[in-house]
Amino acid sequence: MGVAIIAGLTFPGINIGLFRRKYTQLEGPGGAILRSQELMSHWADYNAGLRRWTMPTGALLQFCHCENENDVFSYQSQQFDILLYDEQTQFTKFQIRYLLTRNRATKDKVIPFAAGATNPGGESHMMFKEEFVDVGEPEQVHEVEVEPGRFEKHIFIPARLEDNQILEKRDPGYRATLESQPEETRRALLYGDFDVFSGRFFPEFRKEIHVVPPFEIPPYWKRIRSLDYGLDMTACIWWAVANNGQVFAYRELHEPGLNLTKAAEKIVNMTPDDEHISYTTASPDLWSRRQETGASGVEIMSRAGLKGLVKANHKRIAGWRAMREYLEPFEIKDDKGNVTETARMQIFSNCKNFIKYLPMLQHDEHNPEDAADKPHIVSHINESARYFCMSRHPESSIEGKLTFPKGATEEEKERIRNNLQFEKVYRTMPRHMQRSSFGGW
């Protein structure tokens, strides 16, 4: 509101649009219309029918809303020198981008701009986080590529409750109210933490606990891949199982537009020749035959060189529960008795997409025990991790001695090691899944 008033008094005759997602959010208690009446009623003219203020300079402040996706087209012929979003993440990405086409100058010497105020959470939380929070240092202007080849200047100015001295003075008990909320709500609303938001499926995830710098993985640690394939996104994660039972996601492939053959070839090429994968647990729909070829996806991938595919357990609720167990933080003591937090699942910092999209997974709106399967850019990498958590991999890696046939080459020894590992996994599989392994080792 302050931005609108200052701009309207500074630039005569400009048009300012202040948007909320729903009209009831504009006029309700604490809404922008009531706030504006407190600030402007003694010096500006308000037209209730048009929901518009006319300032002494001739500048107009219009209150707007677009509850439904296509309501933005109601503003198709309008122009706003200044476009303001109140609770920006409540709008969809489409609405935000479309309304920006209405953000253009109506007066000379005015440079149009858009600004938004918001709490973490909402439909476009991911978009806001990517384009404002994650692009670099706050309070600095950054060139952000919002579409291929198209850049915008963005600046993120974080704010906390203590920055709003007027609110704290008016309602001194508000801080205590926020501090009494569950952790993720408290972190989002009190501290403006965009790594958490209401509705997040895995509130257990915290970068300081789950993300670790890459290190050289001991050669005897068991390695597994998990794969969720779709033409819209191929999501593959490479995992290593440590002596103590912790699992490390150490490499990822997250790329759209790959057909089955190209996806398989890329996974193979990303796996060094001296790195031996015990098995690859993959999405069950790969075992369905394609109408266009008559071959299953797993056959096509195997012919392209991706071996050792095992059909993943696709039980969603059980899989998410298992993944939650892996993410649950727990305390450990070092040699000096210092207590730190860790978790069974650790993620190398180079797995940028897994780190990015894991905290963005949200609850399914119809089943709170399930995760939303859209947007797919978020869901695929998490589905891949879920397959791994349900794959009955070894509980730990133990450096032991094996007896090899006399004269066995190093390549033959590694094949024996991996076959033994697969046999252990195979024996623990349900019978129907034993029939679903494919590709050989």
Amino acid 414: pLDDT: 66
Which SS3 state, helix, strand or coil, does residue 250 take? Answer: strand
169 CB-side CA count, 13 A? 4
Give the domain ranges of the chain.
Answer: 2-123, 163-198, 210-434
Q: Give the Cα separation of 302 and 304 in Å (integer).
A: 5
List the one residue out of 379, 375, 391, 374 whose CA is nearest residue 315: 391
* Strands, sheet with 279-282, edge to edge from the N-terminal-most edge strand: 211-212, 345-348, 247-255, 233-241, 222-230, 279-282, 309-311
Find where tokens 């357990």 sit: 313
H or E segment and range at residue 288: none
8 Å CB contact between 237 and 388: yes
CA distances from 250 to 20, 123, 215, 345 (A): 42, 30, 9, 11
Structure tokens at 29: 């208690």
Residue type, 91: F
- pLDDT value at residue 413: 64
Fold of 210-434: Nucleotidyltransferase; domain 5 (3.30.420)
pTM of this structure: 0.65
Q: Which runs of consecutive H residues, i.e. helices, occur in 362-439?
A: 376-389, 410-428, 431-434
Which parts of 328-409 fold into alpha helices (H)?
352-357, 376-389
Do residues 363 and 374 lie in contact, with contact meaning Cβ atoms separated by under 8 Å? no
DSSP-assigned states of every residue in 34-96: HHHHHHHTTTSEEETTTTEEE-TTS-EEEEEE--SGGGGGGGTT--BSEEEEESGGGS-HHHH
Cβ atoms 384, 353 nearer than 8 A: no
For every one of its 441 residues, what pLDDT tens digit does the chain have, with 9 covering 90 and above? 999 999 999 999 999 999 999 999 999 888 999 999 999 999 999 999 999 999 999 999 999 999 999 999 999 999 999 999 999 999 988 999 999 999 999 999 999 999 999 999 888 888 899 899 999 999 999 999 998 899 999 999 999 888 888 888 989 999 999 999 988 788 888 888 887 776 789 989 999 999 999 999 998 899 999 999 999 999 999 999 998 889 999 999 999 999 999 999 999 999 999 898 999 999 999 999 876 678 999 999 999 999 999 999 999 999 999 999 999 999 988 888 889 999 999 999 999 999 999 988 988 878 999 998 888 889 999 999 999 999 976 666 666 555 555 666 776 666 656 655 554 554 455 544 444 444 433
**Residues 315/364, Cβ–Cβ less than 8 Å:** no
pLDDT value at residue 294: 81
In this prediction, residue 415 carries a pLDDT of 60
Return the CATH superfamily for domain 2-123.
P-loop containing nucleotide triphosphate hydrolases (3.40.50.300)
Strand partners, 109: none
> What's the Cα-to-Cα distance from 224 to each of 217, 221, 242, 341, 389, rounded to whole Å?
13, 10, 12, 25, 11
Report the C-alpha gap between 16 and 5 in whole angstroms: 9
Residue 125 CB burial class (10 angstroms; 0-12, 13-18, ≥19): buried
Mark residue 377 as left, alpha or beta (left: phi above 0; alpha: psi -120 to 50; beta: remaining).
alpha
Q: What is the CA radius of gyration of the chain?
A: 27
DSSP state of 2: H
pLDDT in tens, 215-257: 999 988 999 999 999 999 999 999 999 988 899 999 999 999 9
Instruction: Provide the pLDDT for residue 333.
Output: 85
- Give me the pLDDT at residue 420, please: 56
Question: Is the backbone peptide bond immediately before 375 cis, with ω within 30 degrees of 0?
Answer: yes
**Euclidean distance between CA atoms 235 and 265, whole angstroms:** 14
Per-residue pLDDT at 441: 37
Going by their DSSP bridges, the two strands 329-333 and 142-147 should be labelled as: unpaired
Q: Residue 241 belongs to what H/E stretch?
A: strand 233-241
The per-residue pLDDT for 408 is 64
Amino acid, res. 370: D
With beta carbons less than 8 A apart as the criterion, state whether 239 and 393 touch.
yes
pLDDT at residue number 334 = 80
3-class SS at 279?
strand
Three-state secondary-structure class, residue 135: coil
Cβ(387)–Cβ(225) below 8 Å: no
